[in-house]
Amino acid sequence: MTPEATRLEELNRSDFASAAIMRLIALGLRSQEISIAVPKAQGAHVPRAQKHDLLERVLAEHGVQAIFRIADCASLMPLEPVVRALRQAIGAQDLLDRWSRLERFSHGRHVVSQFALQPSLYRLEHHARADGPGPSRAESLLILALLAVLIELSGEDLVLMKEDGTVIRSEQKWHAVDRDLVLKSVLVEVKPATVSLDKPLVCTSERVLENLRRLVADDPCRRWSINRLADLLATSRRTLQRRLEERQTSFSNVVLDVRLELAAEQLCNERQTSLAQIGFLNGFSDQPHFTRLFSQKVGMTPGIYRDQFRSGNDAAGPRTP
């Protein structure tokens, strides 16, 4: 395959978020016994017109509540990698951070801007990424509803409101709304979970590095902090730093090494997974960030690494980051 063909193939697989949304729509329609055919994605590529037209038809024929019930099916989706990365979020801020990175890696035309008005109150706005066409009414209804459901799945109670204070969702139920409801922005009020969903992992000083790596590897998409990892290891920040210094490493180096090792393994063994998806799943900020850190550590870009060391290639075995 020529470099240009490889590049085009990669771009065609980069809009993995839209492909996941289409699978959610298909699941939501089946759950409601709505007989509307859902076009199959070509790899990860989903023409915007297909998703737009499909959602507009659902909205026109079945109303706003049908769109909301599609969002409810997020809890029923198979735990494919992207869904798993979102479902592992702990709390609203963690979930919204993951969603923002997902948008940076995916090539969708629309994004959700987030504004923290208070520690427990957010305003979410769904709009065009640049000067292109904005999202349709049905697209915004689905995306903003989906974010509300995902926040609840992250462990926090939620009240979803219009800007005028009209409550759309509370106590994990949708309220009756006007059939002409338009949502381009919403207010999300969250009530933090009373019980932490993270469980401390008590370990001896000899196994601190092993257990630290295991925690990061279990959820590489998470924005880890040394304070949170110290809590999960049932130790103090200073003690954790000292134990890592004794092993001539640091918190940031361990997190980066785990992410790069996982990325290298996926580059070798998961040919149908795009570079963008691999970068997102392993916690990098965006595609340039992933490419830069991988190149610095390994000595080549992720794309070249995949070409040289993917499974079935006759080249020498992969280099360990």
Whether residues 220 and 264 share a domain: the answer is yes
213 located within any domain: yes
Nearest to 152 by CA among 191, 185, 183, 115: 191
Per the domain annotation, does 159 fall within a domain?
yes
- The last residue of one of the domains, among 191, 218, 251, is 191
**Among the three residues 191, 223, 238, which one is the final residue of a domain in this structure?**
191
- Give how many domains the chain has, as a whole number: 2
Q: What is the mean pLDDT of residues 58-76?
A: 97
- State which of 156, 191, 226 marks the end of a domain: 191
- What distance in Å separates the CA atoms of residue 249 and residue 228, rounded to the nearest whole number? 18
Cα gap 202→163, rounded to integer Å: 45
- Tell me if 198 is assigned to some domain: no
User: Which residue range forms the structural domain that includes residue 212?
Assistant: 205-309
* Same domain for 217 and 177: no
Separation between Cα atoms, residue 15 and residue 42, nearest integer Å = 11
Reported as a pLDDT band with limits 50, 70 and 90, residue 86 is: very high
**239 shares its domain with 121:** no
Mean pLDDT across the chain: 87
Q: Are residues 265 and 155 in the same domain?
A: no
Q: State pLDDT tens for residues 4-61.
A: 545 544 544 557 888 889 999 999 999 999 998 887 755 555 666 788 899 999 999 9
Same domain, 277 and 253: yes
Rounded mean pLDDT, 79-84: 93
Q: Report how far residue 22's alpha carbon sits from residue 234's, in angstroms, rounded to the nearest whole number.
A: 41
Q: What pLDDT score was predicted for residue 37?
A: 84
0.85 surpassed by pTM: yes
Does residue 114 sit in the same domain as residue 8? yes
Question: Which of these ranges, 151-165, 273-287, 307-321, has the smallest mean pLDDT?
Answer: 307-321
pLDDT value at position 15?
73
CB-CB contact of 315 with 265 (8 Å)? no
Chain-centroid distance of CA 128 in Å reads 19
Do 118 and 38 belong to one domain? Answer: yes
C-beta of residue 302 within 8 angstroms of C-beta of residue 294: yes
Q: Are residues 147 and 251 in the same domain?
A: no
Output the domain CATH number for residue 173.
3.90.1520.10
